[in-house]
Amino acid sequence: DAKTTQPPSMDCAEGRAANLPCNHSTISGNEYVYWYRQIHSQGPQYIIHGLKNNETNEMASLIITEDRKSSTLILPHATLRDTAVYYCIVRAWGSGGSNYKLTFGKGTLLTVNP
Amino acid sequence: EAGVTQFPSHSVIEKGQTVTLRCDPISGHDNLYWYRRVMGKEIKFLLHFVKESKQDESGMPNNRFLAERTGGTYSTLKVQPAELEDSGVYFCASSSIGGANEAFFGQGTRLTVV
């Protein structure tokens, strides 16, 4: 799986948009970009994933650059409960055992301030 | 719909003892994964089941760890004998069959070996 690079920490004011960047310059054509987060002492929580088109769901939006070498997770109106470590992970799509595992890095600690 | 459930939530055992962790995946999910985070480290993949078959066990640290998934439903992870370095949080996740389907994580079992 391609390696990702994320800033170690970010701050955001409550109610503002949080934009979390991720670089994945060695991503392959069959690799998706996934975002998970881990709120303190809980299990990782799936947020969103995408291949090359921008994606939006009830939690967030994912913007992937045209060359797919980087992406941005957007939380449109951050709340205090969004304080967590956010992980950007690239994972190959398709059948085969090793394609399913997620490789977690250090992630970005997002702190939402009142 | 019930999420991924793990038992126990906490376990404190003495070095040399045996501990068995249990994971109940989301109903209908054929993929089941075990991950763990040891103190100060990143979340690491341990193994992956497809139904009752081990698809990828490349992350299992040594032969003191035994994972089973009899009948393709719930899974157990046994550590025997436990060592101090086994302390950490063990996460289970499940997903449906399909290349890009996201994995849903349980709340984890915090294991402390003293």
Where residue A2 falls among pLDDT bands split at 50, 70, 90?
low
Please give the interface size between A and B, counted as residue pairs whose CB atoms are below 8 Å apart: 58
Which pLDDT does position A41 carry in this prediction?
Answer: 82
What's the pLDDT score for residue B72? 87
Residues of chain B under the 50 pLDDT cut? none
Residues A81-93: what's their mean pLDDT?
92
What pLDDT is recorded for position A92? 78
> Would you state the structure tokens that stand for residue B71, as one six-digit string?
């009948």
pLDDT per residue as tens digits for the range A3-15? 899 999 999 999 9
Determine which helix (DSSP H) or strand (DSSP E) holds B10, and give its type and residue range.
Answer: strand B10-13
Pairing label, strands B10-13, B109-113: parallel
The DSSP secondary structure of A7-23, one letter per residue, reads: -SEEEEETTS-EEEEEE
Within its chain, how far is the Cα of A110 from the centroid?
12
CB A66 within 8 A of CB A51: no
CB atoms within 10 A of CB B21: 21
Under the banding of pLDDT at 50, 70 and 90, the label for residue A110 is very high
Tell me which chain A residues have a C-beta less than 8 angstroms from the C-beta of B108: 42-43
Q: Residue A96: is its pLDDT beyond 60? A: no
User: Could you tell me if A35 and A86 are in contact, meaning their C-beta atoms sit under 8 angstroms apart?
Assistant: yes
Tell me what pLDDT residue B1 has: 62
Compare all CA atoms of chain B with the CA of A33 and give the residue at the minimum distance.
B100
Model pLDDT, residue A100: 74
Mean pLDDT of chain A: 91
Q: What is the pLDDT of residue B11?
A: 97
Give residue A65's pLDDT: 96
Q: Which residue of B has its CA nearest to A101?
A: B45
- Of A80 and B96, more confident: A80
Confirm or reject contact between B91 and chain A (CB < 8 A).
Answer: yes
Q: Which of residues B40 and A57 earns the better pLDDT score?
A: A57
Cα B84 from chain centroid? 18
